[in-house]
Amino acid sequence: MRSIRALTLLLLATACSSAANQPGTGPAPQTTNIVHPNTLYTDGAQYDMTTVENKTLYLMPILAPADSVWRVMPSVFLALNIEPKTINSSQRYIANTSVTVRHNVGQYPVSKYLDCGNSNVGKTANQAEVTMSLTVQVADSASQAVLQIQFEAYAMLDGYAHNRMQCASTGQMEQLIAKLTNEELAHGAKN
CA 107 – CA 153 distance, rounded (Å): 18
Residue 173 has pLDDT above 90, yes or no: yes
Cα–Cα dist 38/133, whole Å:
24
Mean pLDDT in the chain?
79
In this predicted structure, what is the pLDDT of residue 93?
94
Residue 48 confidence (pLDDT): 74
- Rounded to whole angstroms, how far apart are CA atoms 134 and 94? 8
Lowest-confidence segment of 30-34, 59-63, 111-115, 166-170 by average pLDDT: 30-34
pLDDT higher than 60, residue 57: yes
- Measured distance CA(91)–CA(86) in Å, rounded: 11
d(CA 61, CA 134): 18
Per-residue pLDDT, 118: 87
Mean pLDDT along residues 142-165: 83
Q: Between the CA atoms of 49, 168, 166 and 159, what dihedral angle is there, to the nearest 10 degrees?
A: 140
| Ramachandran category for residue 69: left, alpha or beta (phi over 0 → left; psi -120 to 50 → alpha) | alpha
- CATH classification number, 29-190, choose in 3.30.530.50, 3.20.20.70, 3.30.930.10, 3.40.50.20: 3.30.530.50
Q: What percent of the chain has pLDDT over 90?
A: 50
* Distance (Å) of CA 53 to CA 31, 50, 82, 170: 10, 10, 25, 21
1 pLDDT above the threshold of 80: no
pLDDT greater than 90 at residue 135: yes
Least confident of 66-70, 102-106, 108-112, 187-191: 187-191
Q: Quick one: pLDDT at residue 43?
A: 78
Specify the DSSP class assigned to residue 157.
G
Q: What is the pTM assigned to this prediction?
A: 0.72
Q: Could you report the per-residue pLDDT of 25-56, keeping only the tens digit for each?
A: 456 666 555 555 667 777 778 777 665 556 67
d(CA 122, CA 152): 21
Sign of CA dihedral 128, 98, 29, 149: positive
